[in-house]
């Protein structure tokens, strides 16, 4: 039995997210269907973490076990033949028995793109959150930095997150930059709670609008109260950039 | 009566092209519907030229006449409110009576994107022609340059082009560059026949594959015979970049 790690990208528009939902399009359902065609076996595939409907991935990871003897390079080609073009496997590698894309992950990098100009080009529309109104980018940058370190992120999670699970996450870097008409937030953390990145960005936007100050962030984190943080920004601006091992 | 020039972009996937076709989605139908909502009048809109199904535009132009007194800046905002996000108007300007987006155009710039790596990222799939097989880019560059100058482009048009129309076009520049995993062909000409850019690129690809040489281009042009040139490449790699006046 081999354990295989896949690296894949997807264009999230049109999918109801990673997780299989009966009768609805999902990344997982497409992956399972393709793997079954290629290996001739029913396959269970585990991602580094689920992504929500509309979220894109530049490099998600997933693992599965198989009796298939197909070499990794051929596996990539064969799986891609069975997938829609909105999902692509970039690489496959054999890993040690017991390897699991989620449990072995050491961290993740997410990016959130906010398009700032008055008119959003059609070819960029599904990849960004369009927000052409005034934002104080300098204050937002200061607020972004305030998320670095280990914190309990209860204020930034969704009601769907398990109430009993640990809420501490280590944020290695949390930065806002400007690029090609966009404000780009990039965050590297040990892991993320459900909706955490989108809620952090929603809070940064409240800072940008002047409804909060960068100096408020520490108190919002400490409050462990979802009501204190900003709203959840739209999924289509969110990109899973990399999963680190 | 005002004459207005619009500059607009569109994501061509999902449209049957510019031209209205009963019961099918088209850029023109969406534009007419939006303009009618905004001006309160039935409006005839004329593009710099039709684009085919699946072709994208970074900056198409179109003109129409109206009795509406709405200032240009507000017109842009109002039209965009009635359009799908796959079409955006970037600017509107009052022009002299008789101005026509097509007849007044002095030239156009088109771009064709060929993605070269083995796996095409899902977020780029609808914007490029994916061709990961060997191509001799140096020979293609030499062939591209051979299109510059004034030529009869009969060998590079489609059977749908009017048989009686003039076939001479002046090509100011015709160049192939490499950028971010892509071969990018960009051509600036006085005008283009139906399918001309896609047929020129199809011919350049035959050169890249070694089926033709750069030195064959002059003879293919001189033959005025569609059978001598390469096939029509897919629409989704084609971008109307700019219309010059």
pLDDT, residue B5, reads: 98
Task: Compute the average pLDDT of residues B80-84.
Answer: 98
Count of alpha carbons within 13 Å of A197, Cβ hemisphere only?
A: 31
Among the residue ranges A84-93, B107-116, B135-144, B156-165, the one predicted with the least confidence is B156-165
Among candidates A10, A11, A90 on the partner chain, residue whose Cβ is nearest the Cβ of B119: A90
Instruction: List chain A residues with CB under 8 Å of B90.
Output: 119
Which of B95, B125, B141 is where one domain is finished? B95
Q: Is A79 on the interface with B (CB under 8 A)?
A: no
Contact A122 B9 (CB under 8 A): yes
Task: Compute the average pLDDT of residues A105-123.
Answer: 97
Whether residue A117 has pLDDT greater than 90: yes
Dist. CA A203–CA A207, nearest whole Å: 6
Task: Compute the average pLDDT of residues B62-69.
Answer: 97
Dist. CA B63–CA B61, nearest whole Å: 7
CATH number at residue A25: 3.30.70.580
Which of B52, B68, B95 is where one domain is finished? B95
Q: Residue A84's closest chain B neighbor by CA?
A: B122
Q: Report DSSP state, residue A183.
A: E
Dist. CA A66–CA A42, nearest whole Å: 9
Among candidates A80, A89, A121 on the partner chain, residue whose Cβ is nearest the Cβ of B88: A121
Regarding whether A228 and A197 lie in a shared domain, the answer is yes
CA dist B108 → A83, A209, B82 (Å): 37, 41, 28
pLDDT digits (tens, 9 = 90+) for A15-68: 999 999 999 999 999 999 999 999 999 999 999 999 999 999 999 999 999 999
Tokens matching residue A169? 């996450």
Q: Is B119 on the interface with A (CB under 8 A)?
A: yes
Question: Residue B101: inside a domain, yes or no?
Answer: no
Regarding whether B63 and B136 lie in a shared domain, the answer is no
Regarding whether A206 and A111 lie in a shared domain, the answer is yes
**SS3 track for chain B:** CEEEEEEEEECCCCCCECCCECCECCHHHHHHHHHHHHHCCCCCCEECCCCECCCEEEEEEEEEEECCCCCHHHHHHHHHHHCCCCEEEEEEEEECCCCCCCCCCCEEEEEEEEECCCCCCCCCHHHCEECCCCCCHHHHHHHHHCCCEEEECHHHCCCCCCCCCCCEEEEEEEEEEEECCEEEEEEEECCCCCCHHHHHHHHHHHHHHCCCCHHHHHHHHHHCCHHHCCCCCCHHHEEEEEEEC
The pLDDT confidence band at residue A159, using thresholds 50, 70 and 90, is confident
pLDDT digits (tens, 9 = 90+) for B3-16: 999 999 999 999 99
pLDDT, residue B85, reads: 97
Tokens matching residue A112? 């959130």
Regarding whether A204 and A83 lie in a shared domain, the answer is no
Among candidates A10, A120, A125 on the partner chain, residue whose Cβ is nearest the Cβ of B122: A10
Looking at every residue in chain A, the average pLDDT score rounds to 96
Regarding whether B42 and B160 lie in a shared domain, the answer is no
Q: Is A113 on the interface with B (CB under 8 A)?
A: no
Regarding whether A142 and A82 lie in a shared domain, the answer is no
Residues 164-223 of A with CB under 8 A from B: none
Question: Residue B227: inside a domain, yes or no?
Answer: yes
Contact B9 A90 (CB under 8 A): no
Question: Residue A102: inside a domain, yes or no?
Answer: no
Instruction: List chain A residues with CB under 8 Å of B89.
Output: 119
Contact B121 A9 (CB under 8 A): yes
Regarding whether B78 and B160 lie in a shared domain, the answer is no
pLDDT, residue A160, reads: 76
In 3-state terms, what secondary structure has residue A111?
Answer: strand
Q: ipTM of the assembly?
A: 0.91
Whether residue B164 has pLDDT greater than 80: no
Regarding whether A124 and A10 lie in a shared domain, the answer is no
Whether residue B142 has pLDDT greater than 80: yes
Contact A11 B123 (CB under 8 A): yes
Question: Residue B102: inside a domain, yes or no?
Answer: no
Task: Compute the average pLDDT of residues B169-196.
Answer: 96
Residues 29-58 of A with CB under 8 A from B: 56, 58
Task: Compute the average pLDDT of residues B21-43.
Answer: 95
Q: Please tell me the distance in Å from A37's CA to the nearest CA on chain B.
A: 19
CATH number at residue A201: 3.30.70.660
Question: Residue A203: inside a domain, yes or no?
Answer: yes
Whether residue B160 has pLDDT greater than 80: no
Q: Residue A91's closest chain B neighbor by CA?
A: B119
Question: Residue A100: inside a domain, yes or no?
Answer: no
Domain count, chain A: 2
Question: Residue B50: inside a domain, yes or no?
Answer: yes
Q: Which residue has the higher pLDDT, B23 or A162?
A: B23
Among candidates A76, A87, A122 on the partner chain, residue whose Cβ is nearest the Cβ of B122: A87
pLDDT, residue B82, reads: 98
In 3-state terms, what secondary structure has residue A211?
Answer: coil
Q: Residue B79's closest chain A neighbor by CA?
A: A119
Task: Compute the average pLDDT of residues B69-83.
Answer: 97
Regarding whether A124 and A53 lie in a shared domain, the answer is no
Regarding whether B57 and B141 lie in a shared domain, the answer is no
Among candidates B10, B119, B125 on the partner chain, residue whose Cβ is nearest the Cβ of A122: B10
Task: Compute the average pLDDT of residues A81-105.
Answer: 97
Question: Residue B100: inside a domain, yes or no?
Answer: no
Q: Residue B55's closest chain A neighbor by CA?
A: A123
Which of B28, B62, B95 is where one domain is finished? B95
Regarding whether A222 and A180 lie in a shared domain, the answer is yes
B52 catalytic residue (yes or no) = yes
The pLDDT confidence band at residue B166, using thresholds 50, 70 and 90, is confident
Q: What is the span of the domain harbouring residue A75?
A: 2-95
pLDDT digits (tens, 9 = 90+) for A176-211: 999 999 999 999 999 999 999 999 999 999 999 999
Options A52, A94, A152, A179, the catalytic residue: A52
pLDDT, residue A141, reads: 98
Regarding whether B112 and B10 lie in a shared domain, the answer is no
């Amino acid at each position: 039995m081999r354990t295989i790690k896949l690296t894949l990208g997807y264009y999230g528009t049109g999918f109801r997210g990673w997780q299989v939902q009966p009768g609805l399009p999902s990344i997982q359902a497409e992956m399972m269907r393709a793997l079954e065609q290629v290996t001739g076996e029913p396959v269970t595939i585990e991602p580094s973490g689920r992504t929500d409907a509309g979220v894109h991935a530049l490099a998600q990871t997933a693992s599965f076990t198989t009796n298939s003897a197909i070499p990794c390079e051929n596996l990539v080609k064969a799986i891609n033949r069975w997938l829609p073009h909105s999902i692509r496997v970039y690489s496959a590698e054999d890993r040690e028995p017991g390897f699991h894309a989620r449990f072995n992950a050491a961290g993740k990098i997410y990016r959130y793109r906010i398009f700032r100009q008055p008119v959003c080009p059609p070819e960029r529309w599904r990849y960004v959150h369009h927000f052409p109104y005034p934002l104080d980018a300098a204050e937002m940058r200061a607020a972004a930095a305030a998320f670095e370190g280990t914190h309990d992120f209860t204020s930034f999670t969704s009601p769907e997150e398990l109430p009993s699970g640990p809420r501490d996450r280590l944020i290695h870097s949390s930065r806002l930059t400007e690029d090609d008409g966009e404000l780009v937030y990039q965050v590297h953390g040990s892991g993320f709670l459900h909706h955490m990145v989108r809620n952090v960005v929603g809070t940064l936007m409240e800072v940008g609008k002047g409804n909060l100050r960068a100096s408020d962030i520490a108190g919002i984190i400490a409050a462990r109260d979802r009501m204190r943080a900003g709203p959840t920004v739209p999924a289509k601006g969110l990109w899973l950039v990399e999963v680190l091992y």
